Structure 1
Amino acid sequence: MEDLKAPASNSYRESLIYSLKDLEDAGDYIGVMLELDEDGYNPNILRSALEKVVEARKQLGDYSLLAQQHHKKLDKILAQTGGEEILTLIEFLDALGYRIAIVAKH
């Protein structure tokens, strides 16, 4: 049996960032981070996911000043409130039988 080594976390991150350069993959990734699970909603996971998507967009050279301003504002809100507004919306929609979907604009 060959000795197999687990991929370095850096290569996983690079692979993830590479996949997030695709608008639809990035949308799916953000959508998964918004879904409720047994532990509920975690704003830190969402913040981390958004950072990765931003990094991918920067690498593409497709990160506008407007997007930068909105990200900065959203990140500040998530840091201050823990995303309580987002959580409330997600829980309300879940109770109604809906979920949020992130769809790329083409």
Structure 2
Amino acid sequence: MKEVKTQRSRSYHEYLISSLKDPERAAGYMGVMLELDEEGFEPELLRSALKDVVDAREQMNNLSEEAKKRFEKLDKMLLETKAAELQSLIEFLDALGFRLAIVAKD
């Protein structure tokens, strides 16, 4: 993957992680990864987005051991199943005219 630089010479990934420290942005970022596009749902993009949010929380020292363990379990499950159940749910909701949304708790 080509590294993209921002105006302050920080890598795009560093900028992204920094922006994901904001709960509203993190929720929006993960929500976008749940949406269907012309090619369908991309479980690898969701896994990557979840990892980015976890990285941001770790940088803030705001990730509990429980959350870390749950992320590891979820990540393993998404890798093994290619998120088949989640993809079916997203496609079903889409057929009904709905979509999943992620919002910050406050």
Cα RMSD of the aligned pairs, angstroms, is: 1.5
Stretch of structure 1 that moved more, 16-25 or 6-15: 6-15
In structure 1, the residue corresponding to 2:40 is in which secondary structure?
Answer: coil
In structure 2, the residue corresponding to 1:32 is in which secondary structure?
Answer: helix
> Could you say which residue in structure 1 is the equivalent of 2:79?
79
Whole-Å Cα distance in 1 between the matches of residues 59 and 96 of structure 2?
Answer: 39
Q: Paired residue for 1:7, among 5, 9, 34?
A: 5
Instruction: Kindly report which structure 2 residues correspond to 1:57-76, keeping only aligned pairs within 5 A, or say none.
Output: 57-76=57-76
Q: Deviations over 1:18-53 (max 9, x none)?
A: 000000100000000010000101111111111110
Higher relative contact order (CA 8 A, sep 6+): 1
> Could you say which residue in structure 2 is the equivalent of 1:3?
none
The one-letter code of the counterpart of 1:53 is: V
Q: Deviations over 1:44-84 (max 9, x none)?
A: 11111111100000001000011011101100110100000
In structure 1, the residue corresponding to 2:11 is in which secondary structure?
Answer: helix
Larger Rg: 1
In structure 2, the residue corresponding to 1:13 is in which secondary structure?
Answer: helix
> Could you say which residue in structure 1 is the equivalent of 2:49?
49
Structure 2 unaligned residues grouped into runs of 5+: none
> Could you say which residue in structure 2 is the equivalent of 1:103?
103
In structure 2, the residue corresponding to 1:37 is in which secondary structure?
Answer: coil
In structure 2, the residue corresponding to 1:69 is in which secondary structure?
Answer: helix
Distance apart, 1:10 and its partner CA:
5.8
> Could you say which residue in structure 1 is the equivalent of 2:27?
27
The one-letter code of the counterpart of 1:30 is: M
Structure 1 unaligned residues grouped into runs of 5+: 1-5
The one-letter code of the counterpart of 1:14 is: E
